[in-house]
Amino acid sequence: MKRGTAVFLKYPEPGKVKTRLAKSIGAESSASAFRVMVGRVFENLRQAQPDFVAVVYDPPDQEQQIRSWLEPWLSTFAGEVLLIPQAPGDLGARLEAGIARCFEHFPDAALTVTGADCIEIEPEIYGGAWAELETGADAVYGPTDDGGYYLVGLKRPIPELFQNVPWSVEETLQASLDVAREAGLAIELLPQCSDIDTVREWEAAQEKLAARPALFFDRDGVVNESPGPGYVLDLESFHLQEGIGESIALLHDCGWLAILVTSQRGVGKGLMSSQELHNIHREMQRELEEIGGAFDGIYAFTDLPDCSYAAKPDPAMIEAAISDFGIDRSRSWMIGDADRDIKMAQLAGLAGTIRVVGEKAVGIEADCNLTEISELPELLQNILQF
């Protein structure tokens, strides 16, 4: 049975998301807050290692905008990723239709369904929900303290669970449970969590959303063996360096993020497709998860006309990650093997830089140097003061 999650969300257009919160902090600030929530939801979900993720989005005609916005997170999933437009109708109709589409793609699945405003759903909660479905439960609910639910889990479509239910009121969960019991379903409840709808809830979440430090990684020559003057164009040519998985696991254990910022001009030159690049990164994440830790975000300059970032040493990829993940630049570092990596980090105002010394000429000195990536875990413990 495949384990998967469907995340229902809207594009973060001011005035269209978190409207209750917007009454207190304004539409622009509310939309920015929603972006932060979504990022944390996907970050936690990736750590649960689902076999697939479905983004059920609204408005239906904004797939490209949704894909571009979520790419740094979606590209980190080792499993399959689907984008499904939401159906018209009330929340019940949209849930019913979106869930049906997920089971069309994955008929034999333990499916959890959630929104994008509950940052308290830890990886263990997803795992617990999947386990309950695999061992006999027909429906699993995660209750919120306002009478609703932050998650529902199913192993087949059950349309009646989303029909004739009052939504966004104190009775939502109880009404849903009544319907499930009347249908003779075996039900399990998960730990209670809080979602974020009001300014009080948003303020209470600030400690969880505090800025964190990150180590930014260049890819070729750092994460994987250098291809020399060419490009890594296929999976057969991609080989992880010794020590990368251990280093990322160490970062995570100490509350740091691991962010990949890579230039992949081979896509823009037509030597490989965006999908082929995505396949390499998906396999990279699978391998890293098996040995201890995978990247939290992936940013790639492809030199395509619609690429959101500028080429190194422009710090655009780092700046985007700082905004997306809430990163504290004053405590963050960069590791790379070229002058453009070091310069990019300096332009972004990061705390320090690490160079992997190799065949590339050194014109800009880094704060620390390595001759082998296998030395990185020890260096991190010595210089980053965990």
Torsion sign (Cα): 341, 342, 347, 348: positive
Q: Is the CB of residue 111 less than 8 Å from the CB of residue 155?
A: yes
Nearest to 357 by CA among 376, 382, 378, 333: 376
Q: Is the CB of residue 251 less than 8 Å from the CB of residue 383?
A: no
Distance of CA 304 to the CA centre of its chain: 23
Q: Is residue 218 flagged as an active site residue?
A: yes
327: tokens are: 């990163």
Q: CA-CA distance, 351 to 353, in Å (whole number)?
A: 7
Q: CA-CA distance, 105 to 55, in Å (whole number)?
A: 13
Which of 195, 220, 296, 324 does the annotation list as catalytic? 220
Q: CA-CA distance, 311 to 300, in Å (whole number)?
A: 9
Which of 58, 138, 218, 324 does the annotation list as catalytic? 218
347: tokens are: 């332009």
Q: Is residue 220 flagged as an active site residue?
A: yes
The per-residue DSSP string of 24-44 comes to HH-HHHHHHHHHHHHHHHHHH
Residue given tokens 């991190």 in the structure block: 380
Question: Residue 50, by phi and psi: left (phi above 0), alpha (psi -120 to 50) or beta?
Answer: beta
Active-site residue numbers?
218, 220
